[in-house]
Amino acid sequence: MDKELKSKWVAALRSGNYKQATNTLRSDEGAFCCLGVLLDISNKGEWAAEGLYVVEWGYDGDPLVSCEGDLDSLRKDFDISLETEKTLIDMNDNHGKDFGAIAEYVESAL
């Protein structure tokens, strides 16, 4: 993962500017999961609808990628493994880890 983006992501997770959500990238109320925060600060796409992030590039010939539970293209672009993605989702959605704990994981593991 790019060091500058990683630092920006960790800072955003710790900033208190993002309310935490589970089971969605972005909720109707404007809360985010940890990966939703990464998408939000990356400026690689835009939020087209609640929980739906759209980028104008793709892999495998798909020119438009919408991400709602399928982050294959963005995982490749951010250089995050599937195992890391699953760990982050598990921390955020299943184990109730707050953004501070997730930021610590990102700092040490990526």
Task: Round the average pLDDT of the chain to a whole number and report it.
Answer: 84
Between 76 and 52, the more confident residue is: 76
Helix (H) or strand (E) holding 39: helix 34-42
* Count, residues in the chain: 110
Domain holding 44, by residue range, is 3-109
Between 23 and 92, the more confident residue is: 92
Name the nearest CA neighbour of 71 among 27, 99, 23, 36: 36
Q: What is the pTM of this model?
A: 0.84
Instruction: Give the pLDDT mean for 101-108.
Output: 97
The pLDDT tens digits of the residues spanning 30-56 come to 899 999 899 899 887 777 766 677 665
Sheet containing 46-49: order of strands: 46-49, 52-55, 65-67
